[in-house]
Amino acid sequence: MTKVTYIHPLEHPIHAKVKVPGSKSFTNRALIIAALVNGTTTLHGAANANDSVVLIKLLQQLGMEIESNGDSITIKGNGGKFNSFKGELNVEDAGTVMRFLSALCCIVPGDITLKGSERMHERPIDGLVNALKQLGAKIDYLGKEGFPPVKINGANFKGGKVHVDASMSSQFVSALLMIAPILSNDTDIICGDKLASLPYIDMTISVMRHFGVEVKHDNHRQYFIKGNQQYKATEYNIEGDASSASYMLAIAAVSGSRVEVTNLSSKSLQSDARFADILAQMGCSIMKHDSIEVIGNKELKAIDIDMSDMPDTAQTLAVVAAFAKGYTIIKGLDTLEHKETKRLTALQTELTKMGIECKTHNNSILIKGGKPNGVLINTYHDHRMAMAFAVAGTRIEGISVESPEVVKKSFPEFWNTLISMGIKLELK
């Protein structure tokens, strides 16, 4: 029987301080790099998201010694010298894990099959595979050409010059960047004109810098990494996850409440940390310290905005826009149809069910704000659909979310965090 969580609307505005999980993006990058360190690394404040749990499990299968203690993780790296491995690694529905391990497994001796969930096998990976092949990797598709599952034999993998099409995902570039320093040759990564979600590459470069490796680039069109380097063992503090914070701040926006996320700074490299600025454009007040605070306004204004650098908060914004006066246009959503579900399609379906007029066109969505109705929200096995539409339930009666457990992918404590804020829930 399918579980459903019913959200009771707030009877009055709240004033809440919340802490969100550690950044999944920073955690997964740090895990990959720590595995390549010649020594022991400790990560503090690490994400407990299922994507990170899956990555840890698979690195352990590859022979890494990793111990978790709360939100601290200790990794004994091997300097890139892996023992031979022959077998399957199942990434489930973790996109970053599929992309990052596709590159990492090219330096592991043996034959490795990387597979995932049914949806993962529908998410294109040819841009990364083509780049890895240019560098000498032997990779075969085991199903549909251009999509997982793939079989990898690292073979003659030494670095060099590589052209990568990163218009679909910046993770293709990040995956190459992180393994490049330990390759025997220098690596020169040449990107096309269109680069998806550039801030995530800046995040990758910042983590590499913390571990002692510098990346040079030519206006992000070309990246240069010296070969034969070693990452340095260190301790690394991981900040709060900005994508997770967006739901908390959105609750403030739609309910006229005051919500402060205490473990996220406006100086963060995470592009989603700018979500508060978008809410300010819609009429909210924001305060920035070493934390981010939003003071909501029930009279929200529609906006016209490009979200190409922060697509993971597009669903959150779409739900806020349902309450805003006027027509909101959200553009730059090229990658949304290739995420955990076809997100643009899913947004249009669920908003329409709520009585909100909306239209999608190519990479954008037009939303006419109004008075949404309470309905049962289908999540399509997508964590961000569940959390984004839960925001609406804090304002209007009748919102319930099916398969609430999907939030474990990125924010396992999401529902408990809402309860701690004074939001009443019922599990049915």
Q: Cα separations (Å) of 332 from 13, 91, 289?
A: 33, 28, 29
Half-sphere CA count of 224, side-chain side, radius 13 A? 4
Q: List strands edge to edge, sheet with 138-141.
A: 85-90, 110-115, 150-153, 138-141
Q: Which residues pair with 360 in a beta bridge?
A: 365
Question: DSSP letters of 115-165?
Answer: E--TTGGGS--HHHHHHHHHTT-EEEESSSTTSS-EEEE--S----EEEE-
Annotation says 312 is catalytic: yes
**Lookup result for tokens 């025997």:** 184
Neighbouring-strand partners of residue 365:
330, 360
Q: How far is CA 323 from the centre of its chain?
A: 26
> Which tokens is 332 given?
């730059």
What DSSP state is assigned to residue 338?
G
66 contact partners, CB below 8 Å, separation of at least 6: 56, 59, 60, 73, 74, 75, 76
Strand arrangement of the beta sheet that strand 258-261 belongs to: 15-18, 258-261, 292-295, 285-288
- What are the structure tokens assigned to 265, written together? 């700074």
- Token pair in block for residue 402: 């099916």
Smallest CA-to-CA distance from 222 within 293, 132, 161, 138 is with: 161
Question: Which of these is catalytic: 241, 272, 312, 382?
Answer: 312
Catalytic residues: 312
